[in-house]
Amino acid sequence: MNTASQAVSKQPTGLAIRTGDLNLWYGTFQALFDINLDIKQGIITSMIGPSGCGKSTFLRSVNRINERLGYVRIDGSIDVFGHNIYDAGVELVQVRKQIGMVFQRPNPLPISIRDNVLFGYNLHSENRHASKADKEGIVEDALKQVLLWDKVKDRLDQRGTELSLEEQQKLCIARLLPVKPGLLLMDEPCSALDPKGTEAVEELIWELRGKYTILIVTHNMAQARRASEECIFMLMGKVVEHTATEDMFVTPQNKETADYIEGRYG
């Protein structure tokens, strides 16, 4: 197996993400400053901080979305499961298979629920020519993992865009699973949902812990406290504090963290 294909394979390091002196600029504006983070495998980690502090920029650097913008420059390293995803020769398609992304607003495709789930699998999997029965099993397994199977099993030919927002977001997560990502990135995954939908998606996130490493960006501190095991607080493009979630909310070690949690700014 060549280096490129190995670049995002799982390694028994205990870490899903390790960054080394990561800096990022949008043109002449520096958005991230010397980010050094170790994010553990198999747990849920949340990122909090005021708008514009660099949370989403960091998230989008982890699956190389930012580089679509021609004026972005990145220095430093981002290791995912033991390999730097910015190394020369790394295949972007392999990065995207291993790292799934969930956005603020659900974005199901205007095709059937079944075809939504199979979209990435049919595009990327070496077994995309599997039998119809095998594919039906893949659809069922993915929808069960996101707690959606019982609601949609009798209407798999319905368009994904016709589901409720909560169900659409679950479907978008289900769409990632057949290609077997190790890491799920979630950028404000509940921001478009009502309280009931938010509760349902948080329940799903908790159900997925252990099977996947999950990194969530959220402005909702109550959500971070409910639905994550470790928490990272960012401010002005820098990591201020990274610790167990309960410790951060009960005994923050930095004044800036305490000020933010107590609502003094942001």
For residue 226, the domain's CATH number is 3.40.50.300
Exposed, middle or buried by CB within 10 Å (0-12, 13-18, 19+), for 52? middle
Q: How many domains is the chain built from?
A: 1
3-state DSSP call for residue 48?
A: strand
List the pLDDT tens digit at each of the 266 positions of the chain: 333 333 333 434 599 999 999 999 999 999 999 999 999 999 999 999 999 999 999 999 999 988 888 899 999 999 999 889 998 888 887 888 889 999 989 999 999 999 999 998 888 766 667 788 999 999 999 999 999 999 999 999 999 999 999 999 999 999 999 999 999 999 999 998 999 999 999 999 999 999 999 999 998 999 999 999 999 999 999 999 999 999 999 999 999 999 999 887 65
Measured CA angle at 45 (ends 92, 61), to 5 deg: 30
pLDDT at 6 (0 to 100): 37
CA distance 106 to 131: 29
pTM metric for this prediction? 0.89
For residue 6, tell me if it sits in a domain: no
CB atoms within 10 A of CB 121: 21
Exposed, middle or buried by CB within 10 Å (0-12, 13-18, 19+), for 117? buried
For residue 42, tell me if it sits in a domain: yes
Question: What is the domain range of residue 179?
Answer: 15-261
For residue 190, tell me if it sits in a domain: yes
How are beta strands 29-35 and 15-26 bridged, if at all? Answer: antiparallel
For residue 84, tell me if it sits in a domain: yes
For residue 4, tell me if it sits in a domain: no
For residue 1, tell me if it sits in a domain: no
3-state DSSP call for residue 183?
A: strand
